[in-house]
Amino acid sequence: MTTVSILYFSGTGHTAKLAEAVHKRAAAVPGVQAELIPLSGDDILKGRYQNEAVLAKLDASDAIIFGSPTYMGGPAAQFKAFADATGGRWYGGAWRDKLAAGFTVSSGPSGDKLSTLHYFFTLAMQHGMLWAGFPETPMNDKGINRLSSYSGVMAQAGQEPADVAPNAADKLTGELLGQRVAVAAARWKR
């Protein structure tokens, strides 16, 4: 069984909705077990992320899809605290050759989301992971990849509540990322 973990922090529920969309198609791929793993600020003690159970789940995963809202031009502090806590895994090469991908949400069409995706990419590269971008062009009638990101999935959620935004096109884009990573992870594991 191939394991895909969708690890994310969500401050207002928008990123959680996108994570659920990513999970939907990843879990539908035969032979793949997909798991949503929310990050909690409650696991940050004295500025350090401390949840060994979450880290152990990621150690056992074949692919990790990172998700965070973009706040002030980068990932949420809660995600960064998690990333800083992975240094021991980096040192031991625990995540080497796992697949990685990412998604983010901000209120504007740009909102500097690319900085967050590049942060995820850099984290993955430091761990020796293999990055799976998003190849779908925005030239379609379904709104897939409407924000034109190939590094990962970008979604927009202005001031709308999480039951309205991200919109259906952004969630479909997230679903396709989940499917892409799950199929690639199953192929890579063979």
CA distances from 106 to 29, 33, 121 (A): 28, 28, 18
Q: Return the pLDDT at 166.
A: 97
Q: Residue 153 has what pLDDT?
A: 98
Reported as a single tens digit per residue, the pLDDT across 120-148 is 999 999 999 999 999 999 988 899 999 99
Helix (H) or strand (E) holding 32: strand 32-38
Please state, in angstroms and rounded to a whole number, the distance separating the CA atoms of residues 184 and 179: 8
Burial class (CB in 10 A: 0-12, 13-18, 19+), 173: buried
Residue-level pLDDT at 24: 99
pLDDT at 139: 86
Q: Which two tokens stand for residue 105?
A: 């949400």
15: three-class secondary structure by DSSP: helix
Q: What is the pLDDT of residue 158?
A: 87
Interval 41-49 mean pLDDT: 96
Helices H, strands E: what count in the chain? 6, 9
Averaged pLDDT for residues 84-110 = 97
Distances (CA, A) of 172 to 23, 48, 76, 90: 11, 34, 23, 33
What mean pLDDT value characterizes the chain? 97
In this predicted model, what pLDDT tens digit does every residue of 150-184 receive, in sequence order?
A: 999 999 998 899 999 999 999 999 999 999 999 99
- Please state, for a pLDDT cut of 70, what percent of the chain lies above it: 99
pLDDT at 45 (0 to 100): 96
Taking only the tens place, the pLDDT of each residue in 9-31 is 999 999 999 999 999 999 999 99
Superfamily of domain 2-189: Flavodoxin domain (3.40.50.360)
Residue 140 confidence (pLDDT): 87
**Max CA-CA distance within the chain?**
48
Average pLDDT over residues 59-85: 98
Q: How far is CA 50 from CA 9, 60, 74, 169, in A?
A: 15, 18, 21, 35
